[in-house]
Structure 1
Amino acid sequence: TDAADAEAISEAVTRKTMRFVPVKSPEQQAAAMVLKTRALLVRQQTQTINALRAHLSELGIIAGIGTAKIASLIAIVRVETDARLPNAARFALTAIADQIDALALQINKLERELVAEVKHDEDMRRLATIPGVGAITSASIKALVPDPGGFKSGRHFAAWLGLTPRSHSSGGKERLGKISKMGNPELRTLLVAGATSVLRHARGNHKAPRWLVALLARRPFKVVAIALANKMARIIWALLTKGGTYRGLESSAASS
């Protein structure tokens, strides 16, 4: 079947309707390496923190949820006079605590480099002005989306990211399911996390866009987060392809 597949591919590339993935430049590949290295270190940091939490919980020592709360557990491990920890446990857990600190140092170093790159790139600076889109997200988009103009519209770009529902329509009846989750999972995760942050800030904030507050009042939080991430993706596509500056969620909602 390999010969038949090769023949079919050769025939397909001659069609005018075919779309091709642009080749990434060495600079884009390098930027993607920085992002992937950071993602790897963040995963290792999470694993190490979970290990420390699990070991200390066996001794009845528990801290609040979140990376910021782990400092109290590390302090307990390094206090040699704390009788709750046997010497053998303190010896082992000190190695884990040192690893957490080392990973945090490396992650901060990479993030400072990403922020510096964003400041020197015009497109990334404009993307970072969108609420919910920070330095990491803008750098990821610039590195992982080599040609935004390859999409016909912002809707196509959002669908490529997997932020649109699956369609199960037949016989004139439309049935929409869960989001497709197609495309790059890292970009989709960053946009959803950014949208979630915007929604949390919008709760009880009288300066929040009226349409967003009204949507939160009638739809579940996670559904609104996906909808906002979809809108953010379309705004990103518009800024990258048409230029200009971000005008605010209120005005973008009116225009869409």
Structure 2
Amino acid sequence: MLLAIRTEALRQAAALTKELVRQVKSSDACRRLMTVPGVGTVTAATFVATIDAPGRFAKSRSVGAYAGLTSRRHQSGAVDYGGRISKRGDRLLRTMLYEAANSLLCRVKPGRGQALKDWAMAVKGRTSHKKAVVALARKLAVMMHAIWVNGSVFKESEA
């Protein structure tokens, strides 16, 4: 009985994954976002579904703050220091961007996205792996928004 339920759940998950891939391939915005190294179907679909209307952000930099990937500010008088990331905004989008950045940093072969990877490795050398991945995730969010608004694709020279 339990094995039959597991088999049916896996069959339904495979059908949903196939439908997601079909929907993403039919979306022009998602196809362009998937040209960014590390960004796959799930990340592109999550980004498009969460942002919905890219014109509501005046600057692409605002998307990083919207996803909760910017540092919290602690200010009082002359004191002004940054803390951890704010974690405001959509948790799923933040998770997907983090996963895309981590895969770019750890899994993507040399060549494609090398400038982004080199930048993140330099950040990693100054701080920690997780902070470098968060910084790269924020950078990916900004780039993905700019690609969506401009109607362009990822170019290595612009990274």
* TM bucket normalised to smaller: 0.7 to 0.9
Give the one of 56, 63, 71 matched to 1:150: 56
Q: 2:8 aligns with which of 94, 102, 121?
A: 102
CA contact (8 A) 1:132 1:191 kept: no
Q: CA deviation at 1:206?
A: 5.1
Aligned to 1:123: 29
Distance 1:98 1:215 in 2: 48
Higher percent of residues as strand: 2
SS for the counterpart of 2:68 is coil
Q: 1:251 maps to what in 2?
A: 158
Kept in 2, the 8 Å contact 1:155–1:234? The answer is yes
Cα 1:206/1:148, change in 2 over 3 Å = closer
CA distance in 2, matches of 1:161, 1:111: 24
SS at structure 1 position matched to 2:76: coil
Does structure 1 residue 199 correspond to structure 2 residue 138? no
Q: Specify the SS of the correspondent of 1:174.
A: strand
TM-score of the aligned structures, taking structure 1 as reference length: 0.56
Pairing 1:33-182 to 2, within 5 Å after superposition: 95=2, 97-182=3-88
Q: How many residues align?
A: 155
Matched, 1:228 2:151: no
The 3 A distance-change label for structure 1 pair 206 and 218 is: farther
Unaligned runs of 5+ in 2: none
Q: Could you tell me which amino acid in structure 1 is paired with residue 8 of structure 2?
A: A
Note the alpha carbon deviations across 1:180-215, whole angstroms, 9 max, x for none.
11111111111111111111126xx65433323222
Higher relative contact order (CA 8 A, sep 6+): 2
Using the TM superposition, give the Cα deviation of residue 138 of structure 1 relative to its aligned residue in structure 2, in angstroms: 1.2
Q: 1:101-121, CA deviations, whole angstroms, 9 ceiling, x for partnerless residues? A: 322221111111111112111
Q: Does 1:240 align with 2:148?
A: yes
Question: 2:120–2:135: 8 Å Cα contact kept in structure 1?
Answer: no
CA RMSD of aligned residues (A): 1.8
Larger Rg: 1
Gaps of 5+ in 1: 1-93
Cα offsets for 1:150-201 (capped at 9, x unmatched): 1121221110110111110232432111111111111111111111111112
